[in-house]
Amino acid sequence: MVVMKKLSVLISAVLALAFHQCLADGSPIKFGKVNDNELKMSVYDLDSSAHAAILCDYGETWFEYDRSGDKGFQVYFKRTVRIKVFDEEGVNAGDSKIILYQSNGSDREKLIETEGITFNLENEKIVKTKLENKSIMEKEEDKYHIASTFAMPNVRQGSVIDITYTIKSDFLFNIQPWSFQYLIPVKWSEYYVKIPEYFIYKHTLLGYNSLAINENSTQMGNITFVSSERSGGMVTKTTYNNENISYKESCYRLVMKDIPAFKEETFLTTSSNYRSIYSFELSSTKSINNVYKDYTNTWEKINELLLDDENFGKRIKSAGFIRDEIEELISGIQDTTEKVIIVYEFLKNRMRWNLTNSLTSDDLKKPYSEGNGTSADINLLLIKALREAGIDAQPVALSTRKNGMINPAHPSLTDFNYVIALVKINGKNMLLDATEPDAPAGLLPERCLNDKGRIISEKNADWISLNPEGSDKRTSLYTLALSPDGNITGIVSHKREFYNALNYRKDIHSASSSDDFYKELEKETEGLIYNTINLTDLDSIYNPVGEEIGFSFSNGVEMNGDIILLNPLLFENTSENPFKLKERNYPVELPYPINELLIFTYELPPGFTTEDLPKPAMVTLPSNAGKFVYNVTLNGNTLMITSTVQIKKTLFIPAEYETLKEFFNLLISKQSEQIVIRKT
């Protein structure tokens, strides 16, 4: 795959000596030099609840030319960090796990010059405890990673911990990203990066905090080659030549200060979108002879790269083995939509997704014959199959929800981790993902609903919106009778569409059987007994699912002497507000809109009537983002309650949180208003 190749700059030399500039003067921290204030500090000034804080975090990345000459440039990353522990809860703050990358067991990043000291103030004296080498343990995590772990000695309330380590790496593709923000506050965080002109990296800053200092400058770097020549003849003579090469280095100094601790919150697609991290991706290189090799610095370039890639564009073309089967499949079918659906269904039912997300595939034949594969295996096959059916299908590269959002301003190949298919039918776009067995063509699984994807095409390269084509839509009609002892019997008809139908079908298919599924549901609600269950179109995924359930429920009322207190929505009411906190710092990201209509009709027992019905309610969110409508009416002996909840917007910024919270508070309290029913 394109992204994981190790790079080396080719230079012919026998011996090489590299000189690199000394570290910049003015580095903000000196390992081991802790001052009295830091030791005496008892609380973090900007956040008194912090259990620990990073006082200073300094990272440097620089390149050195390998002296033995055969590895080319190597990149060094050195970090020095000072942590202060304020109370017992913070004593684990210095325990470290450093992940090193390895490739095929032989090439790997190396951890060198690791040191750690814990400083404690005992009776006005500074006591130092050093981290011993034998406390540093290393082992292989998995095929691509090695972890080096250690716990700092003698840490307690008031301790100051200094840690420094250096990682030496041959892997230049992604140099160490720098995390400014952690789960504890950071006072000063600085990253100093020096990159030789031969490498051009794309920088990306994620998160809500901004840089206090962002300086660029250039310096000169130097490589000296020593080569030897032996002359033949009667007397052999060896001459040594010194060759000196100067190059420019771009230096970046990035600083953030007074960074608050990062707090995880609900309804966030992924925290890495919001934590302050600065990362680098190699976009092009040029060799010493000035040949410029472009990697990924524009979306157009990425488009080209992927189309040309063995495991993407070329891989799609290689699946010609599918031709005969597809031709047979669609023979006689004229209508384009029908063709698309037939091919989509065929491939979806034949292939089972192995839960691995991928953008590229290194083989399509084996997955096809075995009937299972990664998301790229399946969808690249789908694209080829559609093309063989005469349909113009294009791949769309995207990043799944958990993987983070794509930033159109920063072209980056490594941001993509998934691919789906795009077809155009009568001028209209349809996106297809064949990994989800219960999804009809055009309805993307939740993991794909992440803002936008990139169409990878020779002629039509562009962005395409990944907004959901449907909502979580359900209409439920309850026709019930209330008996004097409080028992409720009747029928409910549910009609489920789009994502509501998809989720329902997924759930019922993962149970041992439909019967089992309903048995479990029944168990979950105390007092509920299912009598009859009739399902319509359970497996006709292009239609809504219909459920007709006959049931009885004994927990719908509270008997209070002469009064029956009815909970009108029985077990359907929203009982707890998902948004309880006073305020929220990050957006609320719902995957799809919500559309729920509930209608309850009760036949009251003879001789009973209602007293003081709940008043109707209508609550709306600003700019038509959503609404809640509630109505209770009595007609003779029939009590009817309707509740409509619609949320049309899926992204709410922090400033809108308060209104969203209040919307739900009103909704919940209205739905829980009980109805008084008593004998006349």
Partner 1 sequence: MFNKNFIFGLIVLLFYESATGQGYSCYSIPDSLKINATSVLRFEENILTVKSISSATYKVHRVVTVLNKKGENSGQLVLQYDKFIIPSDIKIVVFDASGKILKKVKDSEIQDYSIEESSLFSDNRVKHYKPFVNVYPYSVEISYELEFKGYIGLPGWIPANQYNLSVEQSTYILNIRTEAEIKIKELNFHSEKSTSEKDGIKTIQWQLNGFNAIDEEPLSPSLEELTPRVIVASNKFFYDGYSGSLESWRTYNDWIQSLNEGRDNLPELTIQKIHTLTDTIKDLRQKANILYEYLQTRMRYVSIQLGIGGFQPFTAETVDKVGYGDCKALSNYYLAMLKAVGITAYYALVIYNPGRPIFYHDFPANIYFNHVIVCITFGNDTVWAECTNKYFPLGYLSSGVAGHPALIVTPEGGKLVTTPKSPAESNLFTRKCEIKLINDGKGEIKMETTFSGLRLAEGLGKYVKSPEDQLKNLYEDISLIDFNIISHKYYYQKNESPFIKLKAVINCNRLTTISGQRMFVPLKPLSDEIYIPEKVEARKTPFIIDFSYYDIDSIVMLVPQNYDIESIPSNSNIKSEFGTYDLSVNSSDAAITIVSKMKLNTGVFVSSEYDRYRSFLSDIDKDENQKIILKKITATK
Contact positions toward partner 1, by CB under 8 A?
A: 49-51, 88-89, 91-92, 95, 118, 129, 135, 137, 139-143, 147, 149, 151, 153-157, 350-355, 370-372, 509-513, 522-524, 526-527, 558, 560-561, 563, 565, 576-577, 580-582, 611-614, 665, 668-669, 672-676
Please say which residue, 230 or 582, places its beta carbon nearer to partner 1: 582
First to last CA, the chain: 78
Please say which residue, 50 or 343, places its beta carbon nearer to partner 1: 50
What pairs with residue 552 in β-bridges? 489, 529
Whether residue 493 contacts residue 545, with contact meaning beta carbons closer than 8 Å, is answered with no
What pairs with residue 565 in β-bridges? 558, 676
Q: How far is the CB of 161 from partner 1 (least distance, A)?
A: 11
Q: How far is the CB of 260 from partner 1 (least distance, A)?
A: 12
- In what helix (H) or strand (E) does residue 124 lie, and over which residues does it extend? none
Q: How far is the CB of 518 from partner 1 (least distance, A)?
A: 13
Please say which residue, 153 or 591, places its beta carbon nearer to partner 1: 153
Kindly give the pairing relationship between strand 372-373 and strand 352-353. Answer: parallel
Q: How far is the CB of 51 from partner 1 (least distance, A)?
A: 7
Q: How far is the CB of 484 from partner 1 (least distance, A)?
A: 18
Token readout for 507 is: 């759930």
Q: How far is the CB of 612 from partner 1 (least distance, A)?
A: 2
Radius of gyration of the chain (CA): 32
Please say which residue, 563 or 590, places its beta carbon nearer to partner 1: 563
Please say which residue, 365 or 509, places its beta carbon nearer to partner 1: 509
Distance separating alpha carbons of residues 582 and 665, to the nearest angstrom = 13
Please say which residue, 481 or 563, places its beta carbon nearer to partner 1: 563
Distance separating alpha carbons of residues 602 and 477, to the nearest angstrom = 11
Contacts (Cβ under 8 Å, ≥6 apart) of 70:
none
Whether residue 198 contacts residue 221, with contact meaning beta carbons closer than 8 Å, is answered with no
Please say which residue, 377 or 589, places its beta carbon nearer to partner 1: 377
Distance separating alpha carbons of residues 55 and 271, to the nearest angstrom = 23
Q: How far is the CB of 234 from partner 1 (least distance, A)?
A: 59
Q: How far is the CB of 499 from partner 1 (least distance, A)?
A: 21
Q: How far is the CB of 442 from partner 1 (least distance, A)?
A: 23
Whether residue 570 contacts residue 655, with contact meaning beta carbons closer than 8 Å, is answered with no
Please say which residue, 390 or 527, places its beta carbon nearer to partner 1: 527
Half-sphere CA count of 279, side-chain side, radius 13 A: 17
Please say which residue, 463 or 571, places its beta carbon nearer to partner 1: 571
Half-sphere CA count of 643, side-chain side, radius 13 A: 23
Q: How large is the greatest C-alpha to C-alpha distance in the chain, in angstroms?
A: 130
Q: How far is the CB of 352 from partner 1 (least distance, A)?
A: 4
Q: How far is the CB of 48 from partner 1 (least distance, A)?
A: 8
Question: What phi and psi values does residue 466 have, to the nearest 5 degrees?
Answer: -105, 30
Please say which residue, 578 or 607, places its beta carbon nearer to partner 1: 578
Give me the amino acid identity at 439: A
- Measuring CA to CA, how many Å separate 49 from each of 110, 160, 382? 37, 18, 54
Token readout for 69 is: 């000459």
Distance separating alpha carbons of residues 56 and 93, to the nearest angstrom = 14
Say how many C-beta atoms besides its own lie within 10 A of residue 189's C-beta.
28
Please say which residue, 536 or 560, places its beta carbon nearer to partner 1: 560
